[in-house]
Amino acid sequence: MKICMLGQSFLPKVGGEELGMDLLAREFLKRGHEVTVHVQHRAWLKSAPRLDVPYRLAWYRKARSRRWAIPFLQRSLKQLHRDWPFEILYCRKLYPPGYAALLASRVLRVPLVLSLHDTWTVKSPPESTGRVAAVRSSLLAKERRAASETLTAADAIIALNQHMRAYILSLCPTCADRVHLIPNGVEVDCFTRPARTDGAMARRYANQHGRYFLFMDGWIDRKVWTF
């Protein structure tokens, strides 16, 4: 099967979204599928980065605004389909890529699978008042309607966890039967090194029971947890 994986940020930037796309594309290849990863190239005045990857990589330029990104990305997907007629469109972002993917999938008549990576792509209306806030609220309301339409029409939706599933259902309450809970994959072979058993960590952290909670992520505001 020919699979088009549509996303935004990608390697060489390193993060959950970027590594997740790369890992999944490689897994699809192992299972005998053909894969093209269609992702955003941010630098207008520079050439796209050259990456040593085993799958096909097709870059699209970053649009100047979220609104312009939709027709821009639609055209890009149609052009890609003419050159490489993919059979399924797999998208990692709800808006604007997801909505653009929905509009393109209707014309191209290919199934659309959404696998959402975050809950901040579709923003909530501002709490402030005034003319500017009113205009912004109107624009965000249109985005939420587009996101709801995308979820309603998608052939399948993948949630990484229960929190993501609840977020999806808040935008589309009728989607419950098409939401599949599939956590991010892990290459377990990378974690086969035996753990130290000399008690050094227990002494260092005064943890005599030897039980630890390890959290690994980017150190940015929206990912700082309070325990």
Q: Domain range spanning residue 162?
A: 2-191
pLDDT tens per residue, range 103-162? 999 999 999 999 988 887 777 666 667 777 787 788 888 989 999 999 999 999 999 999
- What is the domain-level CATH number for residue 150? 3.40.50.2000
Inside any domain, residue 163: yes
Inside any domain, residue 196: no
Inside any domain, residue 113: yes
Inside any domain, residue 202: no
Inside any domain, residue 217: no
pLDDT tens per residue, range 18-30? 988 999 999 999 9
The confidence band for 186, taking pLDDT boundaries of 50, 70 and 90, is confident
Inside any domain, residue 220: no
Q: What is the pLDDT of residue 55?
A: 97
Inside any domain, residue 198: no
Q: What is the pLDDT of residue 227?
A: 45
Q: How many domains does the chain have?
A: 1
Inside any domain, residue 226: no
C-alpha R_g of the chain: 20
